Amino acid sequence: MASKIKIMIKTEDKNINLPSIGFGLALTFVRFGLWTSKFVKDMDEDSQRFIRENKEVIIQTVKGIFKELKGMEPFTLVEVRSNDANVLIEIQ
């Protein structure tokens, strides 16, 4: 059963292994990001309005995704390779 998200970034110079975070904490980060988006001065007005008007829908969607992920076995969600870096996001 999956319950955490793990992010790893590998470059030629260094490897960054961020600590695994549970889905509950990840949801808290999403909520915080939505709240802080109103303070971003460079964001266009349409984007700010969209986030403000759809905040609850976004939160419910993320909750639904996490609910589905909890029933799955661990897997690699995203793997991006470039010439100088490798980014890996795993569901554990």
pLDDT, block means (10 residues), the chain with 92 residues: 95 94 97 94 93 96 96 96 95 96
Cβ neighbours of residue 20 under 8 Å, at least 6 residues apart?
Answer: 4, 5, 6, 92
What are the DSSP E strand ranges found in 1-92? 4-11, 15-17, 21-22, 75-81, 85-91
R_g (Cα) of the chain, nearest Å: 16
What amino acid is encoded at 50 in this protein? F
Q: Is the pTM of this model over 0.75?
A: yes
- In this predicted structure, what is the pLDDT of residue 66? 96
